Structure 1
Amino acid sequence: MVHQKTARFMAALFAMLMISGAPALAEQAAPKLANVTILATGGTIAGSGATSTTTVGYTAATVGVQQLIQSVPELAKVANVTGEQVFQIASESMTNEHWLALAKRVNALLTQSNVDGVVITHGTDTMEETAYFLNLVVKSRKPVVLVGAMRPSTAMSADGPINLYNAVLLAAHPDAVGKGVLVAMGDQIHGARDVSKTNTSTPDAFKTTELGMLGYLQGGKPFFYRVSTRKHTADSEFDIGGLTALPQVDIVYGYANMNSVALDAFVAAGAKGVIHAGVGDGSLAARVKPALSAARQKGVVIVRSSRVGQGILARNGEANDDQLDFVVSDTLSPQKARILLMLALTKTSDTKELQRLFYAY
């Protein structure tokens, strides 16, 4: 009888201890969530269409950042999220001034101890360019992740919510630290330097076609398989702190029966640099080569690139770059070569030093 009473007493005592200690144990078990700031710039992810089946012909940049956050309540499970509406534009209207303002805001946020990562919602048309610009000028190893959508928020198959969830998850994860600026689209992780939009409208538009994506997002976790070996973010030598504008750099596109009209117009308009997006390995058409050479003699920096989309641009391959005093773009697309040249021209106009930068970044 005594043993039964003792057993009942011990059981009751154990139950009381478990109940009273449960909150403390729960607090110990609960992981500390990272603090992630979402900077919204507009784009399709914030777009709306006339019907739930409207996936083209919609209006971009109509939904505000707070509505975006509220539409994905699951964000609260992976991070402490705050939001700022930086711009509200379609990304084809992104300018150098927008880039400078955005980059300065990102740098300011990442100096704060209560910010562990930044997510930037962005239109897909120029997202690869904004990502690469930030990859060159962000001064932190904390994660910066760009995300967008190929379908507006009102579509029945909108990809924005899951993309945003994955982007916040990625920005909050320690494995993303030091990886450079990232792009999270379609459950995949891409590096800013090499990713491109490869389709006008399908959800799987973002690819790193030749060099390969960095990893996947699956089951609430990022899986990295490779990293970029090129310099970026905290290791970059570019500083935009005092910049209010960037040098004018334009792109001349190569094609059969090409002429120098566009090139001559850019030079006359004050271009400090021109990216020649040539055919093949950056070949120079016979009717354009003299105009390119003349532009260089006037002080305009000429960078040979290619419209092909893959491969290394061979120095002294399709043109005698040493003799012409040209620079080659390595594997950068014309639009990304433009970004690197703009930033490089804020430091130097020496073509040998410019070529070093193109091989480093």
Structure 2
Amino acid sequence: MPSATTPINLLRLCCAMPLLLVCALARAQPATPPAAETPAEAPAEAPAETAKPTLAERVDQTSSRIENMLERSSHWVDDLFSSEAQRPLKPAKKPYGTLEISDNWSQFYGNRPRVRFDARVDLPALQNRLSGFIGRNDDEDFIRDRSDNSLLRSRFPRVETQDQWLAGLGYSLPSNDVWWADFRVGVHRIVGTELFVQARGHYNAYADSLNLIHLRATPFWTSRQGLGFTTGADYSHVFSERLLFRWGNIGTVSEHRQGLDWRSTWTLYQAVGQYAGLAYELFVRGETGDDVPLHEYGLRTTFRHPLLARRLYGEWVVGYSYPREDVTDRRDGSVQVGVGVEMPFGKRP
């Protein structure tokens, strides 16, 4: 599955990618209000030069606008679950999440620009256990709870991956440091809307000062694809203050798939500076019962660092893998290159 995009054009795109969000932020600059009319008897004064907002100020403006828009929507949703007497007494909740722009290229999958949006707000109704979410992401991975359980997520989706809009409500059960669970119900896709219901349970089976074994289970149902179940197990080990190793395993079975859709990753995280980091990942994935049971294996390196402290982050990804999605495909080596910009907004509780 060769791509028409040449490595030279990709290199140009990678170099220009961090500027895409800057251009978007420039469009978010508020218009300068008109100056008040000067009385006829007073001499007109020369207009003072208005200083152009810096990149950091434009990022803050964009983040604030997203928060305000989501906050107004969340108040409307929260009022649906509250009585008239409760509404004036409830404290306002602030939304939080991330906006990402990325572009990825590989010799096998070709060029794939992506825009991801993930927002959540905790609602005061129902004893502060209700929350709302909206986003644009890979709909299958979201519903099946297969998003990477890591700080640096994979930016190379599978051949059938499609990003779609999702929205819904969640309800959290009582939890502690060992166990937590919640339920989510929502819809995804604007065209061909599909309803989904999901329950998630997480359990820290073992933990000490250096090691952690984390288990999770997610039964789910969609109006088109029926029932399914995702289970995962992660083992993490701290080598030092700057080195963390994680072995992650995840598998999903569902009515519309032939067997177990599985993935294993071995990742070493290295802290570089205060907010920057590197991830070195070895991965393998496949599906039992498929014509090609082993879909891909390879390695990947991701470098993440702040472009603006705690406001804007950049990620550069380089990898090499051996993919094969169909029996007609040859398992040749495939170079992977990716670049992305992430803007977090709000304050996660």
Q: Give me the TM-score of the superposition, normalised by structure 2.
A: 0.24
Q: Give me the TM-score of the superposition, normalised by structure 1.
A: 0.24
> Highest Rg: 1 or 2?
1
Greater share of residues in strand: 2
